[in-house]
Each structure stands twice: as C-alpha cells, then as structure tokens.
Amino acid sequence: MKTRREFLVQSARTTAAAWLVPQALLAQDSQTPSPAPAPANTNPAVQPNPNLAQELRTAAATETIKTTKLTDTIFLLQGVGGNIVCQIGPDGKLVIDSGMAAGTPHLLNALGKLDPHPIRLLVNTHWHPDHTDGNAALHLAGAFIIAQDNTRIRLAAPQYMAVYDLHIQAAPDAALPQETFPDTETLWVNNDEESLTHTPDAHTDSDIFIQFHKGNVIHTGDLWFNGMYPLVDLSSGGTINGMIRGVDQVLALADDQTKIVPGHGALGDKAALQTYRTMLVTVADRVEKLKAQGDTVQQAIAAKPTADLDATWAKGSIKPDTFVALVFDSL
C-alpha cells in the first residue's frame, strides 16, 4: 500500500543534501576564499564528534564480549560495536557483522569458544564502521564477505557522516565484500535457510536484515536501535520513511517466538519492535505536520514534538533535537 510518506522520500534526499554539504568543502571549492573563519555549523542535526571512530577503537581494544545463546546453533555477541550474530555448524561459522577492528582478538576468542569449526562467511548488515571495521581481520581468518552492493561501494571510498562531522577513510581491500547483491540473497548454510534482504533508503542505502528461517532469528542491523532514538544517516542515503518500511518488512516475517537482534541495544522480540515502529511513525507524523505548516527545522525542534517520548527513548547517543532534525530533513 502506498502512503503519502513514500511519495515524499525522493524530494527528501535533495533537501537533505543541501545542508549536509560541509562548510569546509564549500570553502575549498570557493573561487575567492575568504580569510574569515567559516561560521560554526549550527544545524541542530549535528552532534559533532570527529573522533568517534577513534574513540570506538580505543574502547574496543579492551572490550568484553558478552555471548548470549539464542538457539542451539545461533549466538549473539555484544561488544563495543554493533551487535554480532554467529551461527555455528558443520559448514563453518556464519558471522553477521565484525565490530571494531581493535576488538577483533576478543571477538575471535569468543567465536572460538562456540565450536571448533572455522569462520567461513561474514555478512555485513551495512557499511558503518561499528559493523565492518573488523572485516579485514575476519577475512584474513578465513571469512568470505557478503553484503549489499552499496556496502562495498561506500567501504571502498572515503565517507563523510554529517551528523557527527566525521570523515572516514576508505577501507583496505581485505575489508571489502567479495560478493554483493542489489536486493535479496539466499544462503543455505548449517542446515538452515538464511534470507538477506535489502531495505532501501533506511538507516543508510546499504542496509540488509538477515532471517534464519529454521532458527527463527532475525538480525535487523541498524534498522532497529532497541529502546533508543535511532541514527538516520542522511549522508549515506538514509530516510525515516525507509526505516519505517524496513521495520515493517521485518515485522511481517516475525512471529511471537522470533528472536530479533537489533543493531544496537538488547535482544528483542516482535512486540518490542512494534513499539519502536509506533514511536518512529509518531515522530514522523508530528514532524511532517510541522513541516507542512511551514515550520523551519529550528521551529520544529522548538515545538518539542518528542517531549512525551523522551523519557523512554532518549537513552541512546542520538539526542531528541538531533532526531527531530534528521526526521525533518529526510521528509
């Protein structure tokens, strides 16, 4: 069913791009560079943290990996980066996401304790470093890497995340997926069927979720920040409406017994994902109304459209004002 929301997505990208161009790049391109310093970026969607990748790497060097058994063959591993899932079995380990490179020794140690089989496959949920920084190390440990087309494209070139004012270098060749796909991919590994499904223009333009059919486990990647306002990475083609559509795809496949692993936060289930979906739609609808009545992004933030939600959802790294601005700019 088409909604009004869907028709708004295309124009949203153009709007977003307008303010996502960093001041520094504009200055470099200028024919007549001004000696005056560039004005501070006052866009409320920016939570500057240019050292974020380094901070995560430092934290990962001494991280403790918490392992949770989801089924007899599927495990959740949680460290500093995004949530990692490992399926064990006679075909070797299938790992979803690789965390931060500095944490790889801890991850390999935790994986080694699950069973004696080698690491065979690594699936990336999307390109962000907290999910792919360990790719090269896992590849060198034996993993063949599979991801959506845009994950490889973005990993292979320098990236800029406007929301953190964060520049990220291109990944080394060993970190790049060996196989990519545009829409869907099916694996038949370890006596289960694994469906990999692209959700366009969601958290980024490279997101997939992974469903283990027999195991009844779904890893949503960063479509879901469990219990938190999520990052919508407009710099990478993310949109709030694409995120909602992606969540709907997962909900359509889940039942009450499905164990649903979010990109960040605690292990969840269908009811928890439904609650998150309601929050996303509520904020999107409220912000859409403010935008439709002519509010600027600053006015929309001043209207505090998430005031009654913040006590529950403002627990993650994305602040309410930032979330409102990201939603506003992606509508």
Q: Which among 18-26, 186-194, 260-268, 305-313 is the span making contact with Zn ion, rule CB under 5 A?
A: 260-268
CA angle 313, 319, 323 (to 5 degrees): 85
Select 124 or 190, whichever has its Cβ closest to Zn ion: 124
**Cβ at position 239, least distance to Zn ion in Å:** 14
Select 175 or 301, whichever has its Cβ closest to Zn ion: 175
d(CA 112, CA 114): 6
d(CA 274, CA 280): 10
**Cβ at position 69, least distance to Zn ion in Å:** 23
Select 88 or 145, whichever has its Cβ closest to Zn ion: 145
* Of residues 7-36, those binding Zn ion (CB under 5 A): none
Select 222 or 321, whichever has its Cβ closest to Zn ion: 222
* Long-range pairs for 283-289: beta carbons < 8 A, 24 or more residues apart: 283/240, 283/309, 283/323, 283/324, 283/327, 284/5, 284/240, 284/241, 284/244, 284/327, 284/331, 287/324, 287/327, 287/328, 287/331, 288/5, 288/8, 288/331
**Cβ at position 293, least distance to Zn ion in Å:** 32
* Of residues 40-79, those binding Zn ion (CB under 5 A): none
Please state, as a whole number, how many other Cβ atoms lie within 10 Å of the Cβ of residue 167: 13
Select 233 or 329, whichever has its Cβ closest to Zn ion: 233
Q: Work out which of 128, 198, 245, 270 binds Zn ion, going by CB under 5 A.
A: 128
Q: Work out which of 201, 207, 222, 288 binds Zn ion, going by CB under 5 A.
A: 222
By CB under 5 A, residue 192 contacts Zn ion: no
147: left (phi over 0), alpha (psi -120 to 50) or beta: beta
By CB under 5 A, residue 130 contacts Zn ion: yes
What mask of x and - would describe binding to Zn ion in positions 74 to 93, judged by CB under 5 A? --------x-----------
**Cβ at position 284, least distance to Zn ion in Å:** 19
Q: Are 139 and 145 in contact (CB under 8 A)?
A: yes
Q: Report residue 159 as tokens.
A: 């990236």
Residue-wise burial string across 195-216, b where 16 or more C-beta atoms lie within 10 A, e elsewhere: bbbbbbbbbbbbbbbbbbeebb
**Cβ at position 21, least distance to Zn ion in Å:** 21
Q: Which among 28-36, 192-200, 256-264, 316-324 is the span making contact with Zn ion, rule CB under 5 A?
A: 256-264
**Cβ at position 298, least distance to Zn ion in Å:** 26
d(CA 234, CA 269): 27
Write out the residues near Zn ion by the rule CB under 5 A. Answer: 82, 128, 130, 222, 263
